[in-house]
A = this chain, B = another copy of it.
Amino acid sequence: MSRLSDIIERFIKELMRDANTDMLEIQRNELADHFNCAPSQINYVLSTRFTVDKGYYIVSRRGGGGFIRIMKLDTETIPFVGYLIFEHIGDSISQLDASRILANIEEKGIITPRERAIMEAATNGRSLNVFSPPKDVVRAKLLKSMLSVLITD
C-alpha cells in the first residue's frame, strides 16, 4: 500500500500538470475530504514535499474563503537562480558569500539594485543578530531593515 502522503503529493502535481499551470489553489478541508484523511495531513504533505528546496512556494489564508496557494518555481526562466537555490547555497551560508551572490546576480541584471539592497538588508548581520529570538522580534528587525532601504539614497 503506497503511502497516503505520496498519493496526495502525486495528486497535487497531476492537478498542476493537467491544468498546465504553475499555480494552484486548494481548500485544505476539501482535499482532506477527498482523501478521507485528517486536514493536518495536507499540511504534512505540503511541509515535506512542497518546500522551497523542492521547488515550490506556499501561501495561505485562514477564515471564510480561505485557501492554500501552491506555486511551482519556474527554474526554466532563470536557470541560474534555480542553480543557486537548489545546488549552490546549501544549508548554511556566510554573510560574505550571500553578499557576493547578490552582487553577482545584480550585475547579471537578474535583480535590480534596489532589490539587491532589500536582500542585503534582510541577510546582513545586523538583521539577524539575535540569540534566543522571539520570532516576531526578529521579523520586526528584518522588516524595518528592509523598509529602510527604500528611504536611503
Pick the contact of A135: B1, B119, B125, B153 (CB < 8 A): B125
Contact A143 B101 (CB under 8 A): yes
Q: Does A29 contact B (CB under 8 A)?
A: no
Query: What are the residues of chain B within 8 A of A42 when measuring CB–CB?
Result: none
Interface hub of A65, A122, A142 (most chain B Cβ within 10 A): A122
Identity of the chain B residue whose Cβ is nearest the Cβ of A114 in the assembled complex: B115
Contact A74 B153 (CB under 8 A): yes
Query: What are the residues of chain B within 8 A of A52 when measuring CB–CB?
Result: 126, 144-145, 148
Contact B138 A75 (CB under 8 A): no
Give the distance in Å from the alpha carbon of A147 to the alpha carbon of B143 in the complex.
Answer: 17
Where the two chains meet, the residues of A that have a C-beta atom closer than 8 Å to any C-beta of B are 1-3, 6, 22-23, 52-53, 57-59, 64-65, 71, 73-75, 77-78, 81-82, 84-85, 89-95, 98, 101, 110-111, 114-115, 118-123, 125-126, 128-140, 142-153
Q: Can you name 30 A-B pairs with beta carbons within 8 Å?
A: A3-B64, A6-B65, A52-B145, A57-B148, A57-B152, A59-B120, A73-B151, A73-B152, A74-B151, A74-B153, A78-B151, A82-B151, A85-B144, A85-B151, A89-B143, A90-B140, A91-B137, A92-B134, A95-B139, A98-B140, A110-B150, A114-B115, A115-B115, A118-B118, A123-B139, A123-B143, A123-B146, A129-B135, A130-B133, A142-B142
